[in-house]
Amino acid sequence: MKRSLLADWAKRIDLSDLNLMPQERLSASRIRIELLSGLTVALALVPEAVAFAFVAGVHPLVGLYAAFIVGLITALIGGRPGMISGATGALAVVMVALVAQHGVEYLFATVVLMGLLQIAAGALRWGKFIRLVPHPVMLGFVNGLAIVIFLAQLGQFKVPGTMVNTGHGMSGGEWLSGLELWTMLALVALTMAVIWLMPRVTKLVPAPLAAIALVAGIVVVFGLDVPRVGDLASIQGGLPSFHIPTVPFSWGTFEIILPYAVILAAIGLIESLLTLNLVGEMTGQRGGASQECIAQGVANTATGFFGGMGGCAMIGQSMINVKSGGRTRVAGIAAALFLLAFILFASSLIEQIPLAALVGVMFMVVIGTFAWNSLRILRKMPLTDAVVIVLVTVVTVKYDLAIAVVVGVIVSALAYAWNNARRIHAITETTPEGAKVYRVQGPLFFGSAAGFSELFDPKSDPDKVVVDFAESRVVDHSALQAIEAIAIKYETAGKRIQLRHLTRDCHRLLNKAGHLVVDSDDDPDYGLAVDYDVKTGILGAGH
């Protein structure tokens, strides 16, 4: 009997029972690493949340509140310790049209509905379907997202305040030039160098945090004229307050927000579940997909009522956390609380951090996220898999993650179906009694049904024909129809056909099973993927 999700949560929230090696239990040393990792993540969250708020066309605090609330709730009850969630660009680019046409209150209502849809998906355990995402799609996902993260950082090399919101995101702006540009590039390079060298010297402090502190100190001490966090916007604010979205409670409002809510829920869950798998591979953890769906839903529902723009898992910040040593829920909780502390008490200090330091951190995330080995094996793998990797990467960069994953899964599924459709064949032999035996090999399903029919020759075959499915498998209703069609052809020709080694459910589902099937003691017992009512002809649920 499966444990309830609440039982899973109770176990996962117990910090003493985390999936850690003995030396990684919550000792003073481990807590220090987790807190420092959380601080590093929080510093990287500030410009990201502000930038995504600008993309969505809302106040920066709307993005910061979302990063705090979504980050805190998912850290507490999410499906994977170590993951970081917050406001993301993938959601912001969908929100911008809604905000432009109907205002920010409709956005809050949409985020609430988005959260409810995600809770429903988790309760129905739809998160398990992320298993259907093939590995080439995962490679394309991380490559595309790495490129998106890289491109997003290029906006920091423009003069603050010159970019404009076109209704489809922020664009335009004047590029930095002269000494200011070279100083910015030098600081970015210094940040990356410190992150690369620091682990070789000491691991007492996360390398990204050390790099941010060093570069920020250099800028403040020498008074360098480079863009800083405060140039984006002021992050000073108070505690988020409960607020019911002020929209008409009518069917018309529901019609406006439902399409956006569905799209946002789908994008948020896809990005979160793929990030969950990626973090799981790095930390050796499994499961938690449905729990993550519910956690994301609870987080977004709460965010909508507290004036946030909603969010989902952030692969860049998750990578920063994992690479900095964060392995438990403490790091995610600390990141959210540090972010709130920045808003309430330390805004003037945080606003002095140079953007170059944060850009350098994100560039190292890009390098660590991109699957460089995929370039090396691209020519060695099957052509279809190579095409899927490139296709998902391009679509992720050009459009968005959800479309890219759906396209990748569809292409992979069609390629799989085509390859299996070509595998159907039969070995024929004649028995001493003169009967012809067809030993079918390969799966029989909708893709191979036509090829299966071409294997037989009812006109030339003898009066008795045996079709043996011992080395085949009947998969769906199209396969049953193909078997029945062949049987009818032989009966119309006045010949007897026997079907052997079909499963018991195939016996029941074939309309003419009574005199077509020869029962055998070694019939297989796999379940057919369809349920076909021979009386009504209605196709039902699988079993």
Residue type, position 108, single letter? F
Which domain, by its residues, includes 285?
A: 27-162+173-232+251-377
Mean pLDDT across the chain:
85
Regarding whether 147 and 64 lie in a shared domain, the answer is: yes
Regarding whether 367 and 218 lie in a shared domain, the answer is: yes
In the predicted structure, residue 487 carries a pLDDT above the cut 50: yes
- Rounded distance between C-alpha atoms, residue 335 and residue 341, angstroms: 10
Question: Do 384 and 412 meet the contact criterion of CB atoms below 8 Å apart?
Answer: yes
What's the pLDDT tens digit per position in 126-178? 888 888 888 899 899 889 988 988 988 888 898 876 666 555 455 667 898 99
pLDDT at 12 (0 to 100): 40
> Among 354, 377, 400, which residue terminates a domain?
377
Phi, psi of 342 (to 5 degrees): -60, -45
pLDDT average, residue stretch 216-235 = 91
Residue 393 belongs to some domain of the structure = no
Regarding whether 436 and 334 lie in a shared domain, the answer is: no
> 492 by DSSP, 3-state: which?
helix
DSSP for residue 242: -
Residue 136 belongs to some domain of the structure = yes
Q: To the nearest whole percent, how much of the chain has pLDDT over 90? A: 52
pLDDT at 365 (0 to 100): 86
pTM value is 0.75
Residue 10 belongs to some domain of the structure = no
pLDDT at 182 (0 to 100): 95
pLDDT at 286 (0 to 100): 75
- Rounded distance between C-alpha atoms, residue 292 and residue 5, angstroms: 10
Regarding whether 437 and 293 lie in a shared domain, the answer is: no
Question: Do 525 and 503 meet the contact criterion of CB atoms below 8 Å apart?
Answer: yes
Neighbours of 57 (CB within 10 A): 22
Regarding whether 450 and 355 lie in a shared domain, the answer is: no
Classify burial at 250, counting beta carbons within 10 Å of its beta carbon; exposed 0-12, middle 13-18, buried 19 or more. exposed
CATH of the domain at 464: 3.30.750.24
pLDDT average, residue stretch 507-518 = 55
Closest CA to 275 of 291, 292, 258, 257: 292
In the predicted structure, residue 9 carries a pLDDT above the cut 70: no
What's the pLDDT tens digit per position in 51-74? 888 888 899 999 999 999 999 999
In the predicted structure, residue 238 carries a pLDDT above the cut 80: yes
Closest CA to 141 of 415, 389, 322: 389
Lowest mean pLDDT among 102-116, 333-347, 466-480: 466-480
- Rounded distance between C-alpha atoms, residue 532 and residue 513, angstroms: 13
pLDDT at 515 (0 to 100): 43
Residue 361 belongs to some domain of the structure = yes
pLDDT top residue among 158 and 38 = 38
What's the pLDDT tens digit per position in 325-380? 898 999 999 999 999 999 999 999 999 999 999 999 989 988 988 989 899 888 88
In the predicted structure, residue 4 carries a pLDDT above the cut 50: no
pLDDT top residue among 12 and 446 = 446
DSSP for residue 22: G
Regarding whether 434 and 346 lie in a shared domain, the answer is: no
Question: Do 468 and 437 meet the contact criterion of CB atoms below 8 Å apart?
Answer: yes
Residue 409 belongs to some domain of the structure = no
Residue 523 belongs to some domain of the structure = yes
Regarding whether 444 and 327 lie in a shared domain, the answer is: no
Regarding whether 124 and 33 lie in a shared domain, the answer is: yes
Question: Do 337 and 329 meet the contact criterion of CB atoms below 8 Å apart?
Answer: no
Regarding whether 199 and 144 lie in a shared domain, the answer is: yes
Most confident of 48-57, 211-220, 502-511: 211-220
Secondary structure in 3-state letters for 358-384? HHHHHHHHHHHHCCCHHHHHCCCCCHH
Residue 17 belongs to some domain of the structure = no
Regarding whether 462 and 527 lie in a shared domain, the answer is: yes
Q: Which residues contact 314 (CB under 8 A, 6 or more apart)?
A: 45, 48, 84, 85, 86, 88, 275
Residue 333 belongs to some domain of the structure = yes
In the predicted structure, residue 295 carries a pLDDT above the cut 90: yes
> Among 352, 377, 402, which residue terminates a domain?
377
> 121 to each of 9, 127, 270, 514, how far by Cα in Å?
17, 7, 12, 43
pLDDT average, residue stretch 512-518 = 48
Our count of domains for the chain comes to 2
Greatest CA separation for the chain: 99
pLDDT average, residue stretch 278-306 = 90
pLDDT at 256 (0 to 100): 96
> Among 347, 377, 407, which residue terminates a domain?
377
pLDDT average, residue stretch 513-523 = 52
Tokens representing residue 287 in the block: 């499961």
Lowest mean pLDDT among 85-89, 241-245, 515-519: 515-519
pLDDT average, residue stretch 268-287 = 85
Question: Do 395 and 145 meet the contact criterion of CB atoms below 8 Å apart?
Answer: no
Regarding whether 285 and 158 lie in a shared domain, the answer is: yes
Question: Do 306 and 242 meet the contact criterion of CB atoms below 8 Å apart?
Answer: yes
